[in-house]
């Protein structure tokens, strides 16, 4: 039998459904958080979740070092500002909690996001797997709280209802992940999105 060359449409990967969450962690003297779309329950009894975090995020290093984190589930009441605060800047350059006050400290000592979210979970890492660009953490759920009845935001809902539409008539490339626009031609192959840290493969021509 002749095998066809693999010509997978990369768009098919976007048929997977994701939620959006603020992952928070801390070190000795500071707090940080970032947006992730990779949190899920992996077992119940005991309740365990997994998260996957880009190694370039400062929060990643904090989770690795402390073994503790919170995941706050973003609700449909969230504004684009929440995504800008936690998704489009790096904790390596700014203190994201300097001006952001919709937060509280959970029993594990880590902040969680108390507004624009509908709940949070505290995780205690029991295993980590190196995935190259990311680390997969598996954690026991040690605490959690329902914060509102507003439905959770999915990645699709964010793209359709929260993310501002890209401006028309610009030439360049738009980041499919966060909406950042690179103006110019061509897009450098090694380009990294300054907002969400995804690479050139996640950009499409305007
Ligand atoms: Fe981006």
CA distance 192 to 203: 10
Q: Which residue has the tokens 């929440």?
A: 82
Report how far ligand 1's centroid is from the alpha carbon of 200 (Å).
Answer: 9
Quick count: other Cβ atoms within 10 Å of Cβ 185? 9
Report how far ligand 1's centroid is from the alpha carbon of 109 (Å).
Answer: 30
Output the pLDDT for position 91: 84
Report how far ligand 1's centroid is from the alpha carbon of 179 (Å).
Answer: 6
Report how far ligand 1's centroid is from the alpha carbon of 178 (Å).
Answer: 4
Rounded to two decimals, the pTM is 0.82
Report how far ligand 1's centroid is from the alpha carbon of 1 (Å).
Answer: 42
pLDDT in single tens digits along all 206 residues of the chain:
555 566 889 889 889 999 999 999 999 989 999 999 999 999 999 999 999 999 999 999 999 999 999 999 999 999 999 999 999 888 888 899 998 999 999 999 999 999 999 999 999 999 999 999 999 999 999 999 999 999 999 999 999 999 988 766 678 999 998 889 999 889 999 999 998 889 999 999 98
CA distance 137 to 100: 26
CA distance 85 to 206: 25
Output the pLDDT for position 93: 85
């Amino acid at each position: 039998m002749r095998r066809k060359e693999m010509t997978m449409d990369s768009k098919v990967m976007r048929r997977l459904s994701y939620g959006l969450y603020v992952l928070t962690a801390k070190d000795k003297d500071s707090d940080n958080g970032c947006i992730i779309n990779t949190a899920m329950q992996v077992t119940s009894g005991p309740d365990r979740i997994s998260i996957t975090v880009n190694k370039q995020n400062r929060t990643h290093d904090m989770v690795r070092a402390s073994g503790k984190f919170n995941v706050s589930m973003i609700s449909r009441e969230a504004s684009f500002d929440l995504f800008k605060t936690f998704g489009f800047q790096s904790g390596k350059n700014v203190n994201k909690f300097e001006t952001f006050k919709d937060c509280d400290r959970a029993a594990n000592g880590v902040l969680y996001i108390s507004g624009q979210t509908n709940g949070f979970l505290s995780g205690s890492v029991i295993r980590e797997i190196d995935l190259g660009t990311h680390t997969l953490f598996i954690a026991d759920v040690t605490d959690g709280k329902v914060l509102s009845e507003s439905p959770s935001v999915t990645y699709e809902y964010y793209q359709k209802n929260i993310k501002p539409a890209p401006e028309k008539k610009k030439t360049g490339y738009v980041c499919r992940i966060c909406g950042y626009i690179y103006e110019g031609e061509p897009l450098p192959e090694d380009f990294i999105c300054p907002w969400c840290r995804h690479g050139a493969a996640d950009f499409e021509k305007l």
